[in-house]
Amino acid sequence: MQQSTTHSPIEISDDKGRLDLPLIHRFLSEEAYWCRGIPHSTVVRAINHSLCVGGYVDGQQVAFARVITDKATFGYLADVFVLPEYRGRGYSKALVAAIVDHPELQGLRRLSLATSDAHGLYAGFGFAPPANPGSLMEIYDPAIYQRT
């Protein structure tokens, strides 16, 4: 299902055909603190297996986010960004609102994310620290992209 909403003047769309893959890869591999050096093929694979939304101003992509989800019980919000020259205009709020309201993500038991710098943004949408952080575990390899 393709969704498109407009939060003046940004348009949010989940049409993967509109995504600017070179722009997304460039930002993630060069600017994003969480995945610097990520290979292009990994970005493509991640997009192919996620619900993705792009933010567009005058037809040009300026923002991106994706949700890894089974569309039934769980979702993980990842790779959220707005290009630096478009920040401070409420575009990240529009992007997160479109995700939280997306029809394919309604009824999830848990929608989670990890952030080191945008807690206030996400708290405004109901995100909170884990109720039981001691129950969470992970396999984490921050240097994986430097070895591939």
pLDDT tens, the chain, 148 aa long: 455 555 569 999 999 999 999 999 999 999 999 999 999 999 999 999 999 999 999 999 999 999 999 999 999 999 999 999 999 999 999 999 999 999 999 999 999 999 998 998 999 999 999 988 899 999 999 889 888 6
Question: Read out DSSP for 5-73?
Answer: EEETTEEEE--GGG--HHHHHHHHHHT-TTSTT--HHHHHHHHHTSEEEEEEETTEEEEEEEEEE-SSS
Query: Which two three-digit tokens encode residue 118?
Result: 């945008």
What topology is assigned to 4-147 in CATH?
Answer: Aminopeptidase (3.40.630)
User: pTM to 2 decimals?
Assistant: 0.91
Backbone angles phi, psi at 84, to 5 degrees: -50, -40
Backbone angles phi, psi at 80, to 5 degrees: -80, 125
- Extract long-range pairs of 21-27: CB within 8 Å, 24+ residues apart: 21/47, 23/61, 23/83, 24/61, 24/64, 24/79, 27/64, 27/81, 27/83
